[in-house]
Structure 1
Amino acid sequence: MLSSKAIAQNYLLQLHAVDGDTVLLQKEVQIPARFGSGNDVTAYLSKLVPSLQARGYLAASIDSLDIRYGRYDAFIYLGRQYKWARLSFDSIPQPLWTEAGINPAQWEGRALDARQLSGLCEKILRWCENNGYPFARVWLGNAHIGDKGDVSGELLLQRGELRKIDSISVEGDAAISKGYIERYLDIFEGSLYSERKLRNISPRLRELPFLQEAAPWELAFKLTDTRMKIYLRQKRSNRLNAIIGLLPNSVQTGKFLLTADASLALQNILGYGETISVTYQNLQYRSPKVNAAFVWPYMLNSPIGIDANFSLFKRDTAFSRTAFQAGARYQLNAADYVRIFYQGMSNHLITIDTAFIRLNKRLPDNADVSANGGGLELVLDRTDYRLSPRKGWQLRVNSSALIRHVQRSDAVTGITDLSGFDYASLYDSLEQQKYQYHAGGELSYFFPLGKRMTLMCAYKGAWLSGRYLFQNELYQLGGFKLLRGFDEQSIYANQYHMLDLELRLLLDRNSYVYLFSDNAYVQSYYNGYGSEGLYNGFGLGTTLETKTGLFTISYALGRSDNNPVQFRQSKIHFGYLAYF
């Protein structure tokens, strides 16, 4: 009896061809040059038979294994190799060929791999189940095996009866329109049966904050129709959210600064899945901000929704800003949408330091400036659970083009002094920048680490065009929501690029403990000044779900190019989101 050998350290493997075809065995089997341990040998042998069967040796097996003093003798039965002579797909509809990757030429003369054939049948059945044929069958028919192991046959498909969802009824005490449920689940009366959409019903409903399943949904196949029942009940979804921050050594007061971020959100009070929210923030000294927003996702049971957002911000005694945005969105599915919007922004100075202007012959850092225009936004979500993902990714990108106008202030143009300088000329260069462009985006990816941990890697960035910008036009960074470890909205930027890393230990569906590191490159150019730098915020926190809401607490430290870590500058945030 002939054999092939491989020796690595003290381990020897011998393969014995019990059917005597050793030359063929040596051709088909490539034994690794080294085996580091006995476990490596057994791992190799465990993969050997499936590998041979994938090459058409369907009867291949290990008849016996003898182990003595580090020597492994495996007795292999190879058997006949089977190949496809011809496999016919004439009964498979042509549209399915592309979906299943069918190419008849690829099956001629190829080794017969049962797993490959099974995988092809699975693709065909999956297409049928998602296109109205829940009772489809696929099998190999008219099979013939030649003397040399050449196999010919025909792949047969019996699709069965075409089924549609003829009626949908929503049962329970949930105050929601049936049209909203149909749009949200992408299942309509009269639509084709789709196994994929049916499997997504319960996961999708779990992501709705104002509804929950009262019982598993049901689908009844009758002789003449197919009826679906979805059982829903109301869930406490209106939210009262408050985040309190404690920031040490305020520049303005020399004492601890207490920040507040409170919001009220009312959901589905009209029964159409709409959201109405109001937010109050006081994140800087004597600088309150009020925001109101409205979202109606499916207008008149169509995939088109509308939204609006208004905000008012007052920065101490320097300036006030109003901003408005109104948009229309097209829902691609329950989580994804494309949005077109109009936005307008207007800044008005409250006080003007004319002494600074006289002394420096330049405009102050803030100005009366407005901008109006439109933009586009795309939102995609491919996570396993939108509210607290363990795996998947999320994307949000937007851009806008605006017409910008800097208003000449009478307090500036009216300044006179003995030098005879024309202070109105300070505005001349600003008229060169009539258009302004914004671009921004966020991309988050969640890497599962076992069943209870996930690593979130997220990019956040934005860019604002222009050479003649003012400080009150820029983005503001810092704080619990964007660049933790720094004072709330204390960093001004015309562009920033941030990488967030967050390691989460998942306690349950909506509770977790986390470690984080926020790393940002920030560029700040306005009114003739320019700076750029690197920022790093890090810390830990937790989000815990209770019977009445969510409790959050975080501790953060920050450092930048010129400011090392100082524990007395640590930031602590407490938050509670109550459902009612």
Structure 2
Amino acid sequence: MVLKIDGGNELENQTIDSLNYTKIHNDLKSLKTEVDSVQNTLYKLGYIENERKEIKKINDSSFYSQILLKQKFKTIYIYYKKKDVDASILKHVSGRVFDNYFEIKFTEVESTLNYINSKISEKGYPFSKLKLSNISFKGSDKILVAELLVESFEEKRSINDIVIKGYEKFPQSYVKHYLKIKPSQIFDLNKIRNKTEQLNNLNFASELKSPEVLFSKDSTTLYLYLEKTQSNTFDGFLGFGTNEETNKLEFDGYLNLNLTNNLNFGESFRLLYKSDENDQKTFETDISLPYLFKSPVGIDLLLRIFKRDSSFTTTNQSAKIHYQINAKHKLYGGIIATESNSLLKENFSAPINDYKTQYLTIGYQFLKLQPNNLLFPIKSKFYFETGFGNRKSSNTKENQSQYSMDAFNIFSLNTRNSIYIRLNASSLVSNTFLENELMRFGGINSIRGFEENSLFSNLYGLINTEYRYQLNNYIYVNSIIDAAYFENKIADIKEKLFSYGFGFGVLTKSGLFKFNYANGKNENSKFKFSNSKIHLSLTTNF
């Protein structure tokens, strides 16, 4: 069956043809539905007076209908009551809002009413309805006017109860302070859905499906569907390379254990032990307890012990409180105490002395996850911390300050290609320096191609870059281009470092296995294959 629709003149014919209505139909019912659809579309375009003639049968396969468009109304004046709609809402949809009416384009009537209704719903009226009434013409110019009616069939709705399904032991403090959903809150389903999406920034829970609501006569119950996810990790790496002095193969590595939310409190515990090729050993443990006593404040405690061969030991202790602003932003503040002791009976060269420091610190963290990506679960991170205090050594006291920053982001070019860029910097500001208080960097977690913690500095900045190509959801290959600048005022060194290499990662049943090959050099030296480093690591979730 072929359908032909015309207007009252050639101009109206062009308007109807521009709608690109369906002309070929299998039965008469489909044909009549299409004519109704065309007429409704014309209503929305402003031809509210259009008149449709009866469908005529021309022959067994052809049908004809005529729709007279008549006058097109481009604007409409809508009168409203201030008790029903606030003028500030109307200003988002109209540039001409007055005390008792506003003006909009007729083609925007449907979207405008939907917007106003959504804003009324946000105030706790989920069943409100809007309609235009008393539509009429005003004046000799036939200005189109209407009255906006708002129908609310009940009192304002608030959340009376929150029920968690799937992961019933999900910490309630996270609902109140992390998601910021709590009883007595005005009910707004759209805002609730936006808030529960923030669960994607938690590594120990995820959302099974969108929230649902049960409305009864006197109460509103919100249902959240969550599941507990594997969040414990065991991480380690093995590195080996040739010692420049002995030409012998040397190994180094570390073990890093992270336990998260095992008590269903949202807590985390980390234990690190590292031994590297420079006869340096590090033991570190820290614990984070969020939302203490159901408050928005948590606490972080850390203990770190570092020993360098037979030269010195350094112990760091810190206690910080943190405040979770929202799912991605966190503030820190606290105190860091350090004590270092020289193990040398006599000090012939480097200035290694006993000292104690105390710092007051403040910090900020931004963290954005991408939980659907098993290879790269963290998309962006930014952490900045600064501390102010003093160092006591040999009956002297000296004011000092520290600054540190660690930030990275993954720039996704498409589903397979991405670029990873990381910036890491730290600075110790002081009039004098001791070797055992200098910052240590180098290795797989800083500039690759150099021995672990082999570089000492009072100031350094480095950049790590990788081009990554994902062969599939479980395998990727990457380039390595690193650069760094550091200063060591004790040794009077200002040096630039470079590193180049490649690597790959494979997600196995045991975890994520990473292989990195990198060759490092300073600014004035040539590349030597003997300086290359191979780093292996395996991160297991359980």
Matches within 5 A, 1:298-377: 298-351=291-344, 353-356=346-349, 364-377=350-363
Matches within 5 A, 1:43-442: 82=74, 90=82, 93-94=85-86, 96-97=88-89, 100=92, 104=96, 112=105, 114=107, 124-125=116-117, 127-128=119-120, 130-137=122-129, 161=154, 162-172=156-166, 175-200=169-194, 203-212=197-206, 217-246=211-240, 248-251=241-244, 253-351=246-344, 353-356=346-349, 364-382=350-368, 384-385=370-371, 393-407=380-394, 431=396, 434-442=398-406
Cα drift, residue 487 of structure 1: 1.9
Cα drift, residue 355 of structure 1: 4.0
**1:318, 1:298 → 2: CA distance?**
41
Q: Letter of the 1:321 partner, please give it.
A: T
Deviations 1:265-307 (A, max 9, x none): 2222322111112100113421110000001112122211111
**Contact 2:97–2:103 (Cα < 8 Å) also in 1:** no
Deviations 1:321-364 (A, max 9, x none): 110111111111233211111101122111155444xxxxxxx2
Q: 2:492 is paired with a residue of what secondary structure?
A: strand
Question: Which ranges in structure 2 are unaligned for 5 or more consecutive residues?
Answer: 1-9, 13-44, 48-70
**Contact 1:96–1:124 (Cα < 8 Å) also in 2:** no
Q: 2:177 is paired with a residue of what secondary structure?
A: helix
Q: 1:523 aligns with which of 486, 491, 496?
A: 486
C-alpha change, 1:175 and 1:579, in structure 2 (3 Å) is farther
Cα drift, residue 81 of structure 1: 8.6
**1:530, 1:391 → 2: CA distance?**
38
**1:543, 1:139 → 2: CA distance?**
58
Deviations 1:371-391 (A, max 9, x none): 102111111235554987699
Deviations 1:468-526 (A, max 9, x none): 12232222221111222322222223223333333334567786543343333x23133
Deviations 1:129-165 (A, max 9, x none): 5553434455666666677686655666556653333
**Contact 1:83–1:109 (Cα < 8 Å) also in 2:** no
C-alpha change, 1:526 and 1:169, in structure 2 (3 Å) is same
Q: 2:105 is paired with a residue of what secondary structure?
A: coil
**Contact 1:97–1:103 (Cα < 8 Å) also in 2:** no
Question: Which ranges in structure 1 are unaligned for 5 or more consecutive residues?
Answer: 1-17, 21-56, 60-78, 357-363, 409-430
2:23 alignment counterpart: none
Give the TM-score normalised by structure 1: 0.70
Q: Letter of the 2:105 partner, please give it.
A: L
C-alpha change, 1:197 and 1:317, in structure 2 (3 Å) is farther
Cα drift, residue 552 of structure 1: 2.2
**2:176, 2:430 → 1: CA distance?**
46
1:550 alignment counterpart: 512
Which range is displaced more, 326-335 or 387-396? 387-396
Cα drift, residue 113 of structure 1: 7.9
Which range is displaced more, 471-480 or 382-391? 382-391
C-alpha change, 1:523 and 1:546, in structure 2 (3 Å) is closer
Cα drift, residue 215 of structure 1: 6.6
Q: 1:163 is paired with a residue of what secondary structure?
A: coil
Q: 1:199 is paired with a residue of what secondary structure?
A: helix
Cα drift, residue 190 of structure 1: 2.8
**Contact 2:159–2:182 (Cα < 8 Å) also in 1:** yes
Q: Letter of the 1:132 partner, please give it.
A: G
C-alpha change, 1:204 and 1:85, in structure 2 (3 Å) is closer
Cα drift, residue 316 of structure 1: 1.2
Q: 1:434 is paired with a residue of what secondary structure?
A: strand
* RMSD of Structure 2 on Structure 1 (CA): 3.9
**Contact 2:506–2:514 (Cα < 8 Å) also in 1:** yes
**Contact 1:82–1:149 (Cα < 8 Å) also in 2:** no
**1:119, 1:401 → 2: CA distance?**
55
2:6 alignment counterpart: none
C-alpha change, 1:80 and 1:202, in structure 2 (3 Å) is closer
1:46 alignment counterpart: none
**1:341, 1:84 → 2: CA distance?**
60
**1:451, 1:228 → 2: CA distance?**
36
1:482 alignment counterpart: 446
Q: Letter of the 1:530 partner, please give it.
A: D
2:540 alignment counterpart: 578
Percent identity for Structure 1 against Structure 2: 22
**1:113, 1:189 → 2: CA distance?**
41
- The number of aligned residues is 476
2:66 alignment counterpart: none
**Contact 1:284–1:489 (Cα < 8 Å) also in 2:** no
